[in-house]
Chain A
Amino acid sequence: MLLSPPQIQFRRRLTRAIALPIVLLLLLSGVSIWQITRLLSALRWVDHTNEVISQANLSQKLLLDMETGLRGYLLTGEQNFLEPYEQANLQIDSSLEQLKSLVSDNLPQVQRVAELERQAQQWEQQAVPAISRQRGASEPLISLERRKQSMDQMRQQIASFIATEEQLRNQRSRIAQQTTRSVIFTSLFLAVGVGGVLAYFLRRQILRVSDTYETALQTAQVKTEEAQQSAAALQQYKDIFQFAEHGLVVGASDSRTLTLMNPAFARMHGYTVAELEKTPILNLFPPDRHTEAIEFVQQVNERGYYAFESLHCRKDGNVFPVFLGGTAVRDADGNLLYRIVSVHDITENKQAKLALQRSAQRLAALHDIDRAILASETDETLIGNALNQLRQIVPHQQAFVALFDLQAGVAQMIAGNSQSGELSHPIGTQLMIADFAPEQSLLSGIRSVENLTETDNYPPVLMQLRANGFCSCLCVPLLVESVLIGELNLAAIEPAAFNNEAQDIAREVAAQLAIALQQSRLRKQLQTYATQLEQRVADRTAQLAETNQELEAFTYSVSHDLRAPLRTIQGFAKALLEDCGEHLDEFCRSYIDSIIDDTNQMNGLISDLLAYSRLTRAQIRLQPTALDTVITEALSQLTAQITERQAQIRVVSPLPQVIAHRSTLIQVIANLISNAIKFVAPNISPQIDIFTTDERQDEQDSIRLWIADNGIGIASEHQERVFRVFERLHGAESYPGTGIGLAIVRKGLERMGGQVGVESQLGHGSRFWVALPSAVLPQNKHTYDPTSPNSSD
């Protein structure tokens, strides 16, 4: 079995808590056993040494017995004195042998014992002859001394042996004492150490266990609180279910009867909860909805959630619309537990939706009617389209529109439609307006007749409707600014077919129709006017073009045909003068000269006239024009005249740019300068100043170019006349001219949108001016001239 990490940890902790003390105690026992073994060993060595000492003492006593017994025997010769000797003699060898084996681990002592054995044997060898001598026989002193000497050596030997062993015993006792002490200390130390470690370890474990316990306690507390909360939440859910104004029903997965539902659900159906329990679900659906109800349950099962609209039955048998939303609830393995179905009574929604739909439909229909009206070209299609659309919102069997001519008192059927295909009055029928209604009631607004069979007191049109089988009708006047222009008539077979809504719609359609008809009339009128106007303009334009062409042909002829003879006259006159001049008198030659002069004069006149007429007709294009170059050009044209009259001309340059037609402007200025040179008193050399002034008028900057002379001047009463064609103030003798020059000036300025004028006093010179729009833009003062020094740099 797998363990969760905390469990593993807990087990590990437990294992450590048990194992560690055991290991420590085992260690402690081991050490103690080892120490005790050491102590016992030390004590054993002490005992052993004691045993060796006692054995040595025993051997010494035996030796003593032997000597004593021998001596007694020797002294007495009595056998019983010899007895200790014999007994000791029997034991001494084994005693010494035993001693030797006891100290086998100590080589010096072994040697000592061996020495002792040798000496004992030596002594015995000396003793045997002594015994065998006959009692009373005295023994030599020497052998007695030798024996004694040998015995002393043995005694000394044993004494030193015992002294050595005692020394060894003392040493070993000391070691045993030390070992005892060390055992006591070591045991004490180990016991304290192990006790400390165990105490620390146990404390830690206990603390940990207590922590775990506290955590577990807290978790348990939290769980308890949660349980309390969920109990409260459960109560809330119960309340929601019980008190919701929302039909809720819960069905077991296999159940086909109602088991659990809230009061709102029962109330909605007119039952109590108790009444509905165990009722088959299908009982709540009308019979024709059973199939879709079963389908609904299947859909919920398949999809998890499914909603649809259906009908439910109340206890009283009434049927009402519902919105059902079903949810399938499943467990973790996907097994269906139960279904929750929420049920809304959507009666009000349905009604509002229907009303909205109707309203939208009506709006759309009215809009369609408007569109149909706008799209129609003739009154008939216009009305026809409107009526077709109207039929879709207001049910009726026949509709027609009649237009009235109030002055003539007649009405005409314009358009209509009928379910039967035949109108009560065919289209095109002429009727009297009075046939529709008495005049005073025509204007009074919509008239609805609910039942045509009630009385016989109806106007002829309505009587005709009745005759055609219609039972109710609606007569809507078509009014344009309170003027009656016709009537819309709707008729139905059933009585009272037109409710208030139908009347409203009919009124709106009639209003639209009236406006459209009026507009159509106005449009037609406007079209007629426009056509007439266009025709008139075309006629006039053609006339003008013709006149213009004639004029052009005329001037062309003038230029060609009037000039041709003039040229030949001059040519022949010159030929005459050259070829025959020698044969003629001086005065005859002067005649020819005057012919030539007149042809020149005539030619100038024709040139000027042509220039004038050309100026009138020619297309000219205005553009920025530098006055400096215009003046230069004009002066160069007049070079001959200037030289001849020695005229002094001062130009205040630089001159600005103006908007003008260059060649026309040159002609204009040349004419003015020419006049300034010409109209000067004899013997006075002409002085002419040319300069400009800036002007602002009518929101526009303009340039006024002045040409001031020292000429004869013009009387103020003549100052306007000089600009007219052929107006001359002087005879040809004093100041010859064609009388067209200033007329050309004025015409030219007219064409260029400029002005010309003169300031003068008789005898004090004249100041002619021409005003033209400035070519400098007022905002930035830049000129249009691309060749100006600024722009070329």
Chain B
Amino acid sequence: MNQENTILLVEDNPKDVFLVQRALRKAQVTSPLQVVNDGDAAVQYLSGEAPYSDRTAYPLPVFVLLDLKLPRRSGAEVLRWIRQQPHLRRLPVVVLTSSREYADVNGVYDLGANAYIVKPPDFDEFVEILKTLNLHWIRYNEKPQIDSL
């Protein structure tokens, strides 16, 4: 597996997780997917705290797919935390959410989101989106330097 291109999915709904995994498969994205189910877990993962202290098993992702509505710590809070970490602040974060409310969109851009994608009701469309994300962030995009702690 290509550990360098790990994608971190922060999503609490297991069904959505399943659909993301399925869509990635259908989109023929080969990058490994790491999943955490709440905001705190996302912070732990990214900061390398237990139980994610093993960077081989849990490498720093090439980008984060972040849902906004999360238990414990919301997606917006996770994003703000990431942007406050000196070694993580350049990490690309793609917000993936059901909400299209203007306040949300502007708010997360203000916090430093790199993209904002509304989960489409149509699965096939979702597959297309993941293909695009793969092409954009993994294939073509020049990655920033993310320092490991």
Chain A interface (Cβ < 8 Å from any Cβ of B) = 552, 555-556, 559-560, 563-564, 566-568, 570-572, 574-575, 599-600, 603, 610, 614, 618
Task: Name B92-149 residues within 8 Å CB distance of A.
Answer: 97-102, 104, 119-124, 126
Asked if A570 meets B122 with Cβ closer than 8 Å, knowing A560-B69, A564-B16, A575-B22, the reply is: yes
Residues of A within 8 A of B119 (CB): 563-564, 567
B84 within 8 A of A: no
Nearest CB of A to B88, in Å:
27
CA distance A632 to B1 in the complex (A): 48
CA distance A666 to B91 in the complex (A): 36
CA distance A568 to B99 in the complex (A): 15
Nearest CB of A to B63, in Å:
22
Asked if A574 meets B121 with Cβ closer than 8 Å, knowing A559-B99, A618-B102, the reply is: no
Flag if A570 contacts B123 (CB, 8 Å). yes
Residue ID in chain A nearest B69 by CB atoms = A560
Flag if A568 contacts B15 (CB, 8 Å). yes
Nearest CB of B to A150, in Å:
188
CA distance A242 to B67 in the complex (A): 120
Residues of A within 8 A of B99 (CB): 556, 559-560
Nearest CB of A to B37, in Å:
15
Which residue of A572, A600, A614 contacts B15 across the interface (Cβ within 8 Å)? A572
- The 4 A-B pairs of least Cβ separation, nearest first, read A603-B121, A568-B15, A571-B19, A574-B123
Instruction: Write the B48-92 contact mask toward A (1 if CB under 8 angstroms, else 0).
Output: 000000000000000000000100000000000000000000000
Chain B interface (Cβ < 8 Å from any Cβ of A) = 13, 15-16, 19, 22, 69, 97-102, 104, 119-124, 126
A-B contact pairs, 9 of them (CB 8 A): A555-B101, A559-B98, A560-B98, A564-B98, A567-B121, A568-B19, A571-B123, A574-B124, A618-B102
Residues of B within 8 A of A575 (CB): 19, 22, 123
Residue ID in chain B nearest A619 by CB atoms = B102
Flag if A564 contacts B13 (CB, 8 Å). yes
Flag if B101 contacts A556 (CB, 8 Å). yes
Asked if A610 meets B98 with Cβ closer than 8 Å, knowing A564-B13, A570-B122, A575-B22, the reply is: no
Residue ID in chain B nearest A562 by CB atoms = B98
Flag if B102 contacts A567 (CB, 8 Å). no
Nearest CB of A to B142, in Å:
33
Nearest CB of B to A592, in Å:
12
CA distance A552 to B104 in the complex (A): 12
Residues of B within 8 A of A552 (CB): 101
Residues of B within 8 A of A567 (CB): 16, 19, 98, 119-121
Residues of B within 8 A of A564 (CB): 13, 16, 98, 119
Flag if A559 contacts B100 (CB, 8 Å). yes
Residues of B within 8 A of A563 (CB): 98, 119, 121
Flag if A568 contacts B101 (CB, 8 Å). no
Residues of A within 8 A of B104 (CB): 556
Residues of A within 8 A of B22 (CB): 571, 575
Known: A556-B104, A575-B123. 20 other contacts (CB 8 A): A556-B99, A556-B101, A559-B98, A560-B97, A563-B98, A563-B119, A564-B13, A564-B98, A564-B119, A566-B121, A567-B19, A567-B120, A568-B15, A568-B16, A570-B121, A571-B19, A571-B22, A574-B123, A614-B101, A618-B102
Nearest CB of A to B42, in Å:
19
Nearest CB of A to B32, in Å:
21
Residues of B within 8 A of A571 (CB): 15, 19, 22, 123, 126
Nearest CB of B to A571, in Å:
4
Residues of A within 8 A of B13 (CB): 564, 568
Flag if A610 contacts B123 (CB, 8 Å). no
CA distance A570 to B127 in the complex (A): 13
Residues of B within 8 A of A603 (CB): 121
CA distance A603 to B102 in the complex (A): 19
Residues of A within 8 A of B120 (CB): 567
CA distance A566 to B13 in the complex (A): 13
CA distance A339 to B135 in the complex (A): 120
Nearest CB of A to B83, in Å:
23
Nearest CB of B to A777, in Å:
32
Residues of A within 8 A of B126 (CB): 571
CA distance A568 to B97 in the complex (A): 13
Nearest CB of A to B68, in Å:
8
CA distance A758 to B54 in the complex (A): 67
Which of B15, B120, B126 is most buried by chain A, counting CB atoms within 10 A of its CB?
B15
CA distance A614 to B105 in the complex (A): 14
Residues of A within 8 A of B101 (CB): 552, 555-556, 559, 614
Which of A556, A571, A610 is most buried by chain B, counting CB atoms within 10 A of its CB?
A571
Residues of A within 8 A of B19 (CB): 567-568, 571-572, 575
Residues of B within 8 A of A566 (CB): 121
Flag if B102 contacts A614 (CB, 8 Å). yes
Residues of A within 8 A of B97 (CB): 560
CA distance A566 to B19 in the complex (A): 13
CA distance A572 to B126 in the complex (A): 13
Residues of A within 8 A of B16 (CB): 564, 567-568
Residue ID in chain B nearest A565 by CB atoms = B15
Nearest CB of B to A233, in Å:
103
CA distance A552 to B119 in the complex (A): 20
CA distance A572 to B16 in the complex (A): 10
Residue ID in chain A nearest B13 by CB atoms = A564
Residues of B within 8 A of A599 (CB): 121
CA distance A319 to B97 in the complex (A): 109
Residue ID in chain B nearest A575 by CB atoms = B22
Nearest CB of A to B129, in Å:
13
Nearest CB of B to A606, in Å:
9
CA distance A624 to B132 in the complex (A): 36
